[in-house]
Amino acid sequence: MPEQVTLLLVDADWILTMDSERRVIKHGAVAINGDKIVAVGPTAEIVHQYQAPAVRSLKGRLVMPGLIDGHIHSSFQLSRGLADEVGSQKFLFQRMYPYEGYLTPEQSYWSTALCALEELRHGVTCMIDPGNYSPDETVQALSASGIRAVIAKSAMDIAKSSFGSLPATFIETTEEALQHSEAVVKKFHQSENGRIRVSLSFRGVNNASDDLISRMQQMAHHYQIGFQAHACFAKETRDSSVGGTGYTEVERLHRLGVLGPNLLLIHMGWATPGELLLLRDHDVKIVAAPSSSFHNGYGNVAMGKIPELLAMGVSVGLGSDHASSGVVDLVQEMRMVAGGYKEVRMDAAIMSPETVVEMATLHGARCAWWEDEIGSLVPGKKADLAIFDTRRPEWQPLYNPVANLVYSATGSSVDMVLVNGRIVVDQGRVLTLNADDIYDNVERVMPKILEQTGLAGLAKSRWPISG
Ligand SMILES: [Zn+2]
């Protein structure tokens, strides 16, 4: 008698399992029971062994583990178009921090809802948010969307560095920053049946005191969770660290004794060879975010050492960072990290499509400290799947699905998405969120955001508009 499960996905043209052998299965099937994968294999075998009340044919489709966006500011989603053509200092201190500093909880909610909508639509099933100042609204919107997430409460206790000054609304004492962070852990960690987890975030190395960083590491250890920060983002952040403390950012963290496997550092565009060795020796997790550097030229690819970190065995995930750099689409991010390093190193083989798909899945899972449950399609893991429609011009002809995924596709060809065994996107439509309602509310709240931040002059065409 075939074993009863809840859902069978059958006749998929291709399945990228991302298992330990990286098996690619043609004419494959996935058996799902509740929130877990039960079996992955050829359709003929799976339908012989399992039966389900719901059976979906995936002819003309490619199935892979859900993409993991290792770094996305959900609160920045409404900043698209507000930070074009600016260097790193102006980007943060004259655009993004003023924008975020004025964001009301309601505006933050719609920002996160739009972010989750775009992520799911493009095949992302798990996202890591470095944190903001409206964690309640962030969790509310993410919970409704059905996406898996690691969230945080942003914490910074140094208001001024040589890099710039933070808005007044961000400023907390060390004690306040720790108390507020801990409250968010207690309130939301493992909520939504474990689909929402909380990490700690000291946000930027230069805006965090030694005391805050050290005590945050102790708190992360106490709660058995991760902690994260932006580091080596730009030449200016490196110079600010060396000028202010005498050490580069990673050297400073090493001296504080906080480097370890539960630390996630984002960007790592300007790391020195010595810093790379420290990251490897302490199994620190890294997320590269090429699109923000592609947008405003921060040098993360030109100066970055992501191929070296990967070759050294460091876990390097991939992140889309924020909508203000244009793209919240991890498929395009894969193309950018592959193409970017090929171009700046003038080396066609330096980043293979296989490597970047590993970054967006297996490495991403390690960056989320969730590799025991997500990142590959193997029995026992959570049923988080991204399913692409390959009956589209950009996918044809199709012989090597990994190459087509990285070099030809975009997230727009995502057809179906499952998180925890639940279909949250079907035929390219996000089922859990009301897209029109989100667009209407974004349109409603944007004039106020532009007015309160003083950025209204930026949000318009430079070419004359008539009609
Ligand atoms: Zn960021």
Q: Which of 201, 211, 236 is nearest to 93 (CA)?
A: 236
Residue 167: the pLDDT is 87
**How far does the centroid of ligand 1 lie from the alpha carbon of residue 367, in Å?**
15
Residue 344: the pLDDT is 98
| 215 three-class SS | helix
Dihedral (C-alpha) 168, 169, 170, 176: value to the nearest 10 degrees? 110
Relative orientation angle of helices 105-121 and 435-453, to the nearest 10 degrees: 130
Name residue, tokens 């970055």: 304
Indicate whether 157 pLDDT > 90: yes
Residue 164: the pLDDT is 80
**How far does the centroid of ligand 1 lie from the alpha carbon of residue 299, in Å?**
15
Phi, psi of 404 (to 5 degrees): -65, -40
Mean pLDDT of the chain: 96
Mean pLDDT of 197-206: 95
Query: Please, which pLDDT band fits residue 161 given cuts at 50, 70 and 90?
Result: confident
**How far does the centroid of ligand 1 lie from the alpha carbon of residue 171, in Å?**
18
**How far does the centroid of ligand 1 lie from the alpha carbon of residue 349, in Å?**
28
**How far does the centroid of ligand 1 lie from the alpha carbon of residue 2, in Å?**
48
Residue 88: the pLDDT is 87
Residues in the chain: 467
* Cα 239 to Cα 162: distance, rounded to the nearest angstrom: 9
**How far does the centroid of ligand 1 lie from the alpha carbon of residue 445, in Å?**
23
Phi, psi of 379 (to 5 degrees): -55, 135
Domain limits, the chain: 3-65+379-430, 67-367
Give the rounded percent of residues in the chain with a pLDDT score beyond 70.
100
Query: Please, which pLDDT band fits residue 138 given cuts at 50, 70 and 90?
Result: very high
**How far does the centroid of ligand 1 lie from the alpha carbon of residue 319, in Å?**
9
**How far does the centroid of ligand 1 lie from the alpha carbon of residue 329, in Å?**
15
Indicate whether 456 pLDDT > 90: no
DSSP 164-199: EE--GGG---HHHHHHHHHHHHHHHTTBTTTTEEE-
Residue 403: the pLDDT is 98
**How far does the centroid of ligand 1 lie from the alpha carbon of residue 392, in Å?**
33
**How far does the centroid of ligand 1 lie from the alpha carbon of residue 130, in Å?**
7
* Cα 3 to Cα 47: distance, rounded to the nearest angstrom: 10
Indicate whether 162 pLDDT > 90: no
Name residue, tokens 């995924």: 405
Name residue, tokens 């489709």: 61
**How far does the centroid of ligand 1 lie from the alpha carbon of residue 16, in Å?**
29
Contact 246/211 with Cβ under 8 angstroms? Answer: no
**How far does the centroid of ligand 1 lie from the alpha carbon of residue 297, in Å?**
15
Give the rounded percent of residues in the chain with a pLDDT score beyond 90.
91
Phi, psi of 308 (to 5 degrees): -70, -45
**How far does the centroid of ligand 1 lie from the alpha carbon of residue 452, in Å?**
23
Token readout for 387 is 């399913």
| Number of DSSP helices (H) and strands (E) in the chain, helices first | 17, 22
Q: What is the 3-state secondary structure (H, E, C) of 111-148?
A: HHHHHHHHHHHCCEEEEECCCECCHHHHHHHHHHHCCE
**How far does the centroid of ligand 1 lie from the alpha carbon of residue 233, in Å?**
9
Residue-wise pLDDT for 385-444, tens only, equals 999 999 999 999 999 999 999 999 999 999 999 999 999 999 999 999 999 999 999 999
**How far does the centroid of ligand 1 lie from the alpha carbon of residue 104, in Å?**
20
| 53 three-class SS | coil
* Cα 254 to Cα 249: distance, rounded to the nearest angstrom: 9
**How far does the centroid of ligand 1 lie from the alpha carbon of residue 21, in Å?**
33
Residue-wise pLDDT for 292-302, tens only, equals 999 999 999 99
Fold of 3-65+379-430: Urease, subunit C; domain 1 (2.30.40)
**How far does the centroid of ligand 1 lie from the alpha carbon of residue 73, in Å?**
6
Mean pLDDT of 258-276: 97
**How far does the centroid of ligand 1 lie from the alpha carbon of residue 4, in Å?**
44
**How far does the centroid of ligand 1 lie from the alpha carbon of residue 242, in Å?**
21
Residue 89: the pLDDT is 87
Residue 163: the pLDDT is 78
**How far does the centroid of ligand 1 lie from the alpha carbon of residue 27, in Å?**
39
Burial of 456 per CB tally in 10 Å (0-12, 13-18, 19+) = middle
How big, in percent rounded to 5, are the helix, strand and coil portions of the chain? 45, 25, 35
Residue 442: the pLDDT is 98
**How far does the centroid of ligand 1 lie from the alpha carbon of residue 215, in Å?**
22
Residue-wise pLDDT for 226-240, tens only, equals 999 999 999 999 999
Query: Please, which pLDDT band fits residue 248 given cuts at 50, 70 and 90?
Result: very high
| 385 three-class SS | strand
Residue-wise pLDDT for 166-177, tens only, equals 888 888 999 999
Residue 160: the pLDDT is 84
Residue 171: the pLDDT is 87
**How far does the centroid of ligand 1 lie from the alpha carbon of residue 267, in Å?**
8
Fold of 67-367: TIM Barrel (3.20.20)
**How far does the centroid of ligand 1 lie from the alpha carbon of residue 69, in Å?**
12
Residue-wise pLDDT for 97-129, tens only, equals 889 999 999 999 999 999 999 999 999 999 999
**How far does the centroid of ligand 1 lie from the alpha carbon of residue 433, in Å?**
25
Asked whether this chain's domains 3-65+379-430 and 67-367 adopt the same fold, the reply is no
Indicate whether 461 pLDDT > 90: no
Residue-wise pLDDT for 315-372, tens only, equals 999 999 999 999 999 999 999 999 999 999 999 999 999 999 999 999 999 999 999 9
Higher pLDDT: 461 or 224? It is: 224
**How far does the centroid of ligand 1 lie from the alpha carbon of residue 404, in Å?**
28
Token readout for 438 is 């989100």
